[in-house]
C-alpha cells in the first residue's frame, strides 16, 4: 500500500462480539418460529372455534331479520367439504351411519345465512365416524354441534360422549 491510500479499518473486538450475538439471536428467533409453526393444531380448539364462527353468523342473521332462519325441525350440515358417506352423498354428523344429514339438503339454510355474512368454510376433522359442524333445529332452538376428540372447549358444552374419545359439543341458540 502506498502512503496515500487509506488503511483498512478493523472492527473493534466488542463490535465483532455484538454482531456475533445478534446473529445468534436472529438464528434462535427463526428456529423458535419454525418450531412454533410446526406444532400440531389442537382439533378441539379448531372445532370449538368453528362453532363460535357459526354462532356469530346465526346471530348476525337474527340481528338483520329479527329471528333465526326458519327451517323445519331436523339436522343440517354447516359449511361444505364433508366426507362422502352413506347413500354416496356428502354427509355430516354420523356420515357413514343412518343418522346423517346431507350437505345438499342443507343448501336452503346455507343460502339464508349467506345473505348476511360470509360463511365459515369446511368440515372439521372426523372423530370416530362423526363430523361437524352441524345444526339441529328442535323445539328448544337451534343447537350448533360438532365432534371433538376430547373435552369440549368453552363456550361449547358437552352434550354427549361415547366413552372412546368422541365428545359432541354444543352451543345452543334459543329462539
Q: Give SS3 for 74.
A: strand
pTM above 0.85, yes or no: no
The verdict on 69 and 81 lying in the same domain is yes
Strands 134-137 and 141-149, by their bridges, are antiparallel
**Residue 3 falls inside a structural domain:** no
List of residues 6+ apart from 7 with CB closer than 8 A: 1
- Is residue 6 one of the residues assigned to a domain? no
Domain tally for the chain?
A: 2
What is the extent of the structural domain holding 24? 11-39
Both 123 and 83 in one domain: the answer is yes
Average pLDDT, stretch 141-163?
Answer: 91
Residues 50, 121, single domain; the answer is: yes
Q: Per residue in 17-60, pLDDT tens?
A: 877 787 787 876 676 666 545 544 454 568 778 999 999 999 99
| Residues 128, 113: Cα–Cα separation, whole Å | 29
Looking at the fold, whether 78 and 164 belong to one and the same domain comes out as yes
Q: Are residues 58 and 35 in the same domain?
A: no
Same domain, 28 and 114: no
Q: Across residues 134-150, what is the average pLDDT? A: 94
Q: What is the mean pLDDT of the chain?
A: 86
Amino acid at each position: 500500500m502506498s502512503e496515500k491510500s487509506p488503511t483498512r479499518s478493523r472492527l473493534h473486538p466488542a463490535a465483532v462480539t455484538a454482531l456475533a450475538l445478534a446473529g445468534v439471536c436472529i438464528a434462535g428467533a427463526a428456529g423458535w418460529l419454525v418450531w412454533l409453526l410446526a406444532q400440531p393444531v389442537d382439533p378441539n380448539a379448531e372445532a370449538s372455534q368453528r362453532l363460535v364462527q357459526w354462532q356469530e353468523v346465526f346471530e348476525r342473521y337474527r340481528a338483520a331479520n329479527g329471528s333465526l332462519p326458519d327451517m323445519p325441525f331436523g339436522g343440517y350440515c354447516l359449511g361444505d367439504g364433508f366426507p362422502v358417506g352413506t347413500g354416496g352423498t356428502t354427509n355430516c354428523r354420523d356420515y357413514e351411519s343412518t343418522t346423517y344429514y346431507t350437505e345438499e339438503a342443507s343448501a336452503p339454510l346455507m343460502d339464508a345465512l349467506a345473505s348476511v355474512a360470509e360463511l365459515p368454510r369446511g368440515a372439521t376433522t372426523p372423530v370416530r365416524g362423526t363430523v361437524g359442524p352441524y345444526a339441529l333445529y328442535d323445539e328448544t332452538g337451534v343447537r350448533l354441534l360438532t365432534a371433538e376428540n376430547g373435552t369440549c372447549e368453552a363456550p361449547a358444552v358437552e352434550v354427549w360422549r361415547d366413552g372412546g374419545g368422541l365428545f359432541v359439543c354444543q352451543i345452543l341458540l334459543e329462539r
